[in-house]
Amino acid sequence: MSVAQAGVTPTHVDPMRFQLFWRPFRSDSSSVVDVLPFHREYPALLESCEKMAYLIRSYSVFSMTCASLGHPGGSFSEAEFLAVLYNYVLRYRPEDPSWPMRDVFYLSKCHACPAYYAALALVGYFPVERLKFYGQWGSGLESHPDALVTPGVEISGGSLGQIPGVAVGRALGIRRNGPDHNDRMVYVLLGDGECNEGAVWEAFMAAAHYALDNLTFVIDYNKVQAKGFVHQDMNIEPLADKLRAFGLDVYEVSNGHNVAELVDLFTTLRQHRRGKPVAVVLHTIKGKKVRQCQYNPNWHTSAPRTIEAARAWLRELWEQDGKRLGVPEAFVESLGSAMEIVPPLHPDVEQVVDRQA
């Protein structure tokens, strides 16, 4: 249904009603069908994934601004990957998060959860209105994911480097469930700075040792970590060669923001079960689509300082993608108007005194 058909005025769109101009590509997310470049559905799939990535970034700006916290850099760099993953690759049932035949996705770079939460909301795990309360106590949208309170989150996380090892155990456990589970996959998204952690490489080594070809490691190689460029803080190059030396089947995506590259790769990977775990190196840009954030470590951990600044980000995103993808301009204006910075629990934090019992 179009905005006009819905009877919405051109100057205002309910910013939580994204269904007016986008719905998930699949009507049934519990099954997958290959979509190849010569298929009639291929252009529609690419446009749907691009539009979802745009919405992921926009709602991430919304939630981070309301919370006065967040990680825009890593959230923006992973947007296209999350869009393709949830729109095309992953098998899941939002109405039944514990469905036993689901694929498993772990966000190992847990700080980049604003984009993750936006993706989960867009595909129906919880209402998108809930994103306004990101980071608040009791909201169920913690600043690092909590699997006990957020539908669709498979594991709680915080400390980097720990979750790849959990993914190895999960993939091994799925294999041992028997042949009925052989088609299930485990995907884990890591940060490039996270690859400084020795535990990550132990997980790679164990995955290869157990020949876990139902496990795919995806590295968001956006070149920037918390305090600077990866190659300056702790160089991980030659990354692809190192991954191969650890026994992984390695694929590189030259532009991790090109949804066509991602769709084509993951279509191919469905056919590539060769007794090795897979590693995908996504070449991305930290803070992609917001010029102030791109390649800028200052925006690894932060949020727009004011609603006016956040609205400028939303405008920039719309000018680049929303306009081209047919998102009404009223959406970006209404989403900006809906932002409200949540005040701190204590108005004057300097007066707060810790008390030990």
Cβ within 8 Å of residue 101, ≥6 positions away:
30, 91, 181, 184
Which comes out higher in pLDDT, residue 9 or 213? 213
Angle formed by the axes of helices 198-209 and 163-175, nearest 10°: 20
133 CB neighbour count, 10 Å cutoff? 16
Please compute the mean of the pLDDT values over residues 140-153 and round it to a whole number. Answer: 90
* pTM of the entire predicted model: 0.92
What residue ranges define each of the domains in the chain, with the CATH number in brackets? Answer: 74-303 (3.40.50.970)
- Return the closest-CA partner of residue 189 out of 115, 299, 294: 115
Which comes out higher in pLDDT, residue 56 or 342? 56
Please compute the mean of the pLDDT values over residues 300-320 and round it to a whole number. Answer: 93
Is 80 exceeded by the pLDDT of residue 250? yes
Is 60 exceeded by the pLDDT of residue 350? no
Please compute the mean of the pLDDT values over residues 292-296 and round it to a whole number. Answer: 92
Please compute the mean of the pLDDT values over residues 193-207 and round it to a whole number. Answer: 96
Is 70 exceeded by the pLDDT of residue 281? yes
172/24 Cα distance (integer angstroms)? 31
SS (H, E, C) the chain: CCCCCCCCCCCCCCCCCHHHCCCCCCCCCCCCCCCCCCCCCHHHHHHHHHHHHHHHHHHHHHHHHHHCCCCHHHHHHCHHHHHHHHHHHCCCCCCCCCCCCCCEEEECCHHHHHHHHHHHHHCCCCCHHHHHHCCCCCCCCCCCCCCCCCCCCCCCCCCCCCHHHHHHHHHHHHHCCCHHHCCCCEEEEEECHHHHCHHHHHHHHHHHHCCCCCEEEEEEECCEECCEEHHHHCCCCCHHHHHHHCCCEEEEECCCCCHHHHHHHHHHHCCCCCCCCEEEEEECCCCCCCCCCCCCHHHCCCCCCCHHHHHHHHHHHHHHHHCCCCCCHHHHHHHHHHCCCCCCCCCCHHHCCCCCC
328/21 Cα distance (integer angstroms)? 8
User: Contact 106/163 with Cβ under 8 angstroms?
Assistant: yes
Cα angle at 219 between 192 and 231, to 5 degrees? 25
Please compute the mean of the pLDDT values over residues 297-326 and round it to a whole number. Answer: 93
352/357 Cα distance (integer angstroms)? 16
- Return the closest-CA partner of residue 329 out of 309, 313, 314: 314
- Report residue 251: phi and psi, to 5°: -130, 140
- Per the prediction, the chain carries an average pLDDT of 92
| pLDDT tens sequence across 21-45 | 999 999 999 999 999 999 999 999 9
User: Contact 212/277 with Cβ under 8 angstroms?
Assistant: yes
Contacts 24+ apart (CB under 8 A), 323-327: 325/47, 325/50, 325/51, 325/54, 326/21, 326/51, 327/21, 327/22, 327/51, 327/54
pLDDT at residue 344, rounded to an integer: 57
| pLDDT tens sequence across 77-97 | 999 999 999 999 999 999 999
Is 60 exceeded by the pLDDT of residue 345? no
Least confident of 174-178, 260-264, 348-352: 348-352
Please compute the mean of the pLDDT values over residues 257-268 and round it to a whole number. Answer: 98
pLDDT at residue 351, rounded to an integer: 59
pLDDT at residue 97, rounded to an integer: 96
Is 70 exceeded by the pLDDT of residue 266? yes
End-to-end CA distance of the chain: 58
Is 80 exceeded by the pLDDT of residue 208? yes
Which comes out higher in pLDDT, residue 8 or 68? 68
